[in-house]
Amino acid sequence: MKVIENTKVREKIYIEKLENGLTVMIIPKKGIQKKYAIWGTHYGSNNSKFIVPGEDKVTVVPDGVAHFLEHKMFEQENGTNSLDVLSALGVNANAYTTNDHTAYLFESTAHFQEAFDELADYIQHPYFTDENVEKEKGIIGQEIMMYDDEPSWAVYMNAIKAMYAKNPVRIDIAGTIETIHHIDKEILYKCYRTFYHPSNMALVLCGDFDPKETIEYVKTKQVIQNPQGEIQRIYEEEPKEICQKEIVTKMEVSIPSFILAYKDQVDEKHLVKKHLAVEILLQLMIGKSSELYKKLYQEGLLLQEPEMAYEFTDSYAYAMIGGASQNPKKVQDEWNQAVARFRQTGFQEEDVERIKRMLYGEYVKEFNDVSNIARMFLADYFKGIQSFDYLEEIQTIHQDYLMQILREVFQEEKEVISIVEPKGE
């Protein structure tokens, strides 16, 4: 068992790769009443084209299969639904699908072993039939239509579509009503056997656990599997250029909303450092304490602090700024002028250090909650990141690197804007 300790937050993670290939991570939190388990697979909505280990030909499946699988995993052959079983035990259980992974989780203060037994059972014993697959299409179809009518989802997806021409991130995680129509049990079983192999999965446990005892217990719940080679994930080559500069949509909203986004390239050697640098830059330029935010707020151009993020997987990366404004294009103009000024003047050292301290404090706070810790370690693991690295790397970021990332990421030719405005305007 490998042990990694971070003295800054006084936390340890115990990591062991089991014989069947499953990576187990345990973060003990002595004296904490809640226990959290999250079992994930490195399989998300982006993985619709791949080569199964041992095969030569390319497999192409309809968009939305990963999300569809997530829905169907709870249904059991004995007629029960594992979510109902877990709820009856008094635990809070859920699941989710992203572009790059799918996860099944629960949080409990009692009955942990019974809940984990159920989790291990339904994840390792799928049950798909023609009937239950057909029934699910209607349920997921309703979910897709609900999101289609959601302005916050529309403004986000339009920003993605403005940036990307071919990358599957531009496809809704749930697929479309048309694509899910082509999903059948054979497709689900093939994707399950390919992506739900233990060697493509990870389990994270956080709470008052004894690592050695817990690892041995987890081993008793594993289904024996033959080794599997590496899955070859296939993505169409994405142009470096953006797809289009802006997308404006009219919906039933009272105030326009917008997202400014920048199409970026994945930096595999500096994933953590670059992520941190972009977050620092966003805070410096338009965060709550910035001169630009104060100006936009006082002029009524921003109603509250904008949402900011830098997202990346193995096939894409982008920075986003989103908010509500009566004049999104004016916000964009003011933002671009501010970026141009910072390119010339750089940043005050005391401002950089203040933002670094603020972000460092936010990362430290993540370690106060078992659910935040477990989800963070799982998501970072599938990105090839050790979560503790954020606490170490932030100290290495200085003015010269920030200026380098400012010039690399925040280029006007890579900038898009998505706007959702009220109908009739």
Give the C-alpha distances (Å, rounded to integers) separating 378 from 329, 363, 383, 407. Answer: 38, 16, 9, 31
Strand partners, 37: 106, 205
Q: What are the DSSP calls for 88-156, one per residue?
A: HTT-EEEEEE-SS-EEEEEEESS-HHHHHHHHHHHHHS----HHHHHHHHHHHHHHHHHHHT-HHHHHH
CA-to-CA separations, 379 to 40, 78, 103, 250, in angstroms, rounded: 9, 32, 9, 34
The DSSP line for 357-370 is HHHHHHHHHHTT-H
Rounded Cα distance between 171 and 46, Å, is 8
Q: What is the Cα–Cα distance from 187 to 197, expressed in whole angstroms?
A: 16
Annotated active-site residue 118? The verdict is no
Q: Which of 11, 70, 75, 415 is catalytic?
A: 70
User: Are residues 59 and 49 in contact, defined by beta-carbon separation less than 8 angstroms?
Assistant: yes
Alpha helices in 248-304 (DSSP H): 271-286, 291-298
Residues annotated as catalytic are 70
